[in-house]
Amino acid sequence: MRVIERLYIVLGVFLLASGAVYGIWGHEPAGTLYLVVLAVAFAYLARESGEYGDEPADADEPLPADGGEVHDSSTAMPEAERVAFHASAPSITPFFFALGAGVILTGLVVGAWLVYVGGATVALVAIVWFVETGRRRAAEEAAKAGHH
């Protein structure tokens, strides 16, 4: 059993016990339901992560005798289809996006005005993030076109 699977099981049991205690003494059915649903979600994650326990990790895969990389010509992509980056470049915008989401969640407890502030923050940061990513990708395409 892998560590992540054990963690999911422990969290699921904890949330199930918390849901039972909250249901007995809390007198609020919605909170109990949410805790139990989250416990079931962690049980599902534990089951799914257990199914992939037999697959070798990248570090466990055999290397060629010369220590270099394994090249399989049958799956190699043509040069024109290669992707330089799979994720966005380093940026501060994801932090502000998460901060805005936190303000929205806090607003659900404190008051509706804070939800509006958080929503506006998330919308503004999303626009900035998309513009920033678009400019970076346009620069990459221009650089790629200049090399060919």
**In a structure prediction context, what are the per-residue pLDDT tens digits for the chain, which is 148 residues long?**
678 888 999 999 999 999 999 999 988 888 889 999 999 999 998 888 877 655 555 555 555 555 555 555 555 555 555 555 555 567 888 899 999 999 999 999 998 999 999 999 999 999 998 888 888 888 888 888 876 5
> Residue 62 is encoded by which pair of tokens?
């055999």
Model pTM above 0.85: no
Residues 21, 55 contacting (CB under 8 angstroms): no
Torsion angle of C-alpha atoms 56, 57, 62, 68, degrees rounded to 10: 160
Alpha helix positions (H), the chain: 3-25, 29-51, 93-110, 112-147
Q: Is 67 left (phi over 0), alpha (psi -120 to 50) or beta?
A: left
